[in-house]
Structure formats: structure tokens, C-alpha cells
Amino acid sequence: MPDTPLPRRFARLPANLRWSLLTLAALIVLALVAPWLSPFDPETPDWNAVLQPPSLASGHWFGTDAIGRDIFVRSFLGLRLSLLIGLLATAMALLIGLCWGAVAGYFGGRLERLLMRLLDVFSALPFLLLVILLLALFGRSFALLLVAIGGYVWIELARVVRAEAARLRGQPFVTAAVVAGASPWQVLRWHLLPNLLGLALVYASLIAANAVLIESFLGFLGLGVAEPASGLGSLLHDGSQELDQAPWTLLFPAVLLVATLACFQQLGDALRDAMDPRRQ
């Protein structure tokens, strides 16, 4: 039989999952396309429009900041950077956490205890102080920020996956694969990891929200990507300095950040409901 067309598969998804995916897709499209809709350069000041409030007539739809830079363009470029770091850090966390937790949960014994003790050590490290130290030693860069965030947010995912892998280890399909002569790595690859992927994807949406929030927090503290690039956190920091005179410089980046975090949270809830057999 031919494969079901993609639009029909999408239509069969639960309504809340469809809306979450559409909202996330809309945010990504806006982050990619919206900066091109404005004629203004994000780093070129418009000295004739300093601290100008939002206006359709002037073309500065979200207003300007203290040196005349367009807030519309800067906000969506900031959303693009924050989403990029969040999604890449999530992919890194998904890869590391899924493999780490699956190996620990399936093999058990001393290897499991060793891997889980290492997780305890990683989670006990002062993340913010380490990031500050790394940035001081190697400078602010996209790659370093990505590694720092991705290397932190995978820890809880590994714990969740380890617990589920330990439960699946005693299931009949795993026992049957072992009796049939499958090696431990074949069992992991063909039987355990596919059954763990659904849980990991549900948790990955929460990781993405956490990664975006961490990136924004570091940017607000001045530890984000070096200028001229700016994430939402850096824009929030700049906007907080001009709050009394130009509240729109803080409002629009804050709305985009809240919308992004809410979207990932809603997506996680929708994925959890869709994969819960009790809700089928």
C-alpha cells in the first residue's frame, strides 16, 4: 500500500499537537523572514529616529532604541539566534542524554552506578561560574555558548531515559532478542533506543525551552554571543536600560521570548498526551 500523504498524517494528529507544531513553525518562519521585511539594517543607527515609538508611517513598526536602531529587525534577529542555539543545544542534549541513559539503564550494575555518579558530579558543578570562566578564557562565541548550554541541559534527560531503559530491560521483547542471539549493542540499537525515543522527544521540548531561557539569561547578564549578534536576552538587557523612556524596547523582545517558551511548553504537553496510551 502507498504511504499516507504527509498532510493527511498531520491532520490525524491531536488538535493541541497540531497547533503547537504550527505555532513553532510560525515562530521559525518569522525569525527567518521577518528581518527581510524591513528596509532598516539592525546595526545602522537612524539618528533622525532616536527613541521613536512604534509607528507604521515611519516604517519603524516596533519603534527604535536610544541610538535609532530598528527594534522590529533586532527582535526577530534575536529570536532567530535564540531559537538556533536552543534547537542545536536540544539536539546535542538529545543525542548525549539518550545514549548515556540507555547504556546506563540497559547494562546496569557497576557501569550504571559509574555513569549515574558522573551525572551527580556534573549536576553539582556551578554551571554559571563555569560558563563565566570559559568565556573569560576563550572569549564570547556562538560555538562556546552552544557547547556550554548543550553540555548542561542533557543531564536530567539522561536520568529520565536511564529509568525507562531499566524498566524496558526486563520486557519480553528485549529478552526474546537476547535469546535470539542479538548482541547488547544490537539490542540497544534496534529494540531499546526506538522505544526510548518517544519519551526523549517529549522531554526534548522542555529542554528546548530551558536552553532558550538559559541563553536569554546569559545574554541578559552580558554573557551571550559577542556583538553585533544579539539574542533575546541581550535585547532585554538593552531594553531594561531604556524602560522609562522607551518601554517598547523591552516589550517586544519580552513578548517573543514568552511566546517561544510557551510554545515549547505546550508542545511538550501535547506530545506527552499524544504518546500516553491511557489518552488514546
- pLDDT tens across 223-261, in order? 888 877 889 999 999 999 988 889 999 999 999 999 999
Is 18 among the domain residues? no
Is 12 among the domain residues? no
Is 105 among the domain residues? yes
Q: What is the pLDDT of residue 4?
A: 60
Confidence of residue 1 (pLDDT cuts 50, 70, 90): very low
- pLDDT tens across 63-121, in order? 999 999 999 999 999 999 999 999 999 999 999 999 999 999 999 899 999 999 999 99
- State the Cα–Cα distance between residues 187 and 177, nearest whole angstrom: 7
Confidence of residue 264 (pLDDT cuts 50, 70, 90): very high
Is 275 among the domain residues? yes
Residue 70 backbone dihedrals phi, psi, to 5 degrees: -75, 125
- 162 or 1: which leads in pLDDT: 162
Grouping H, G, I as helix, E, B as strand and the rest as coil, residue 84 is helix
pTM assigned to the model:
0.89
**Percentage of residues in the chain having pLDDT higher than 70:** 94
Mean pLDDT of 120-135: 84
Query: Per-residue pLDDT for 206 more than 60?
Result: yes
Mean pLDDT of 173-178: 90
- State the Cα–Cα distance between residues 73 and 63, nearest whole angstrom: 10
Mean pLDDT of 212-226: 89
Is 258 among the domain residues? yes
Query: Per-residue pLDDT for 277 more than 60?
Result: no
Q: What is the pLDDT of residue 6?
A: 57
Concatenate the DSSP letters of all residues of 141-181 into one string.
-HHHHHHHHHHHHTHHHHHHHHHHHHHHTTSHHHHHHHHTT
Is 99 among the domain residues? yes
Domain that holds residue 252: 87-279
Number of structural domains in the chain:
1
Confidence of residue 222 (pLDDT cuts 50, 70, 90): confident
Is 225 among the domain residues? yes
Is 219 among the domain residues? yes
CATH number at residue 243: 1.10.3720.10
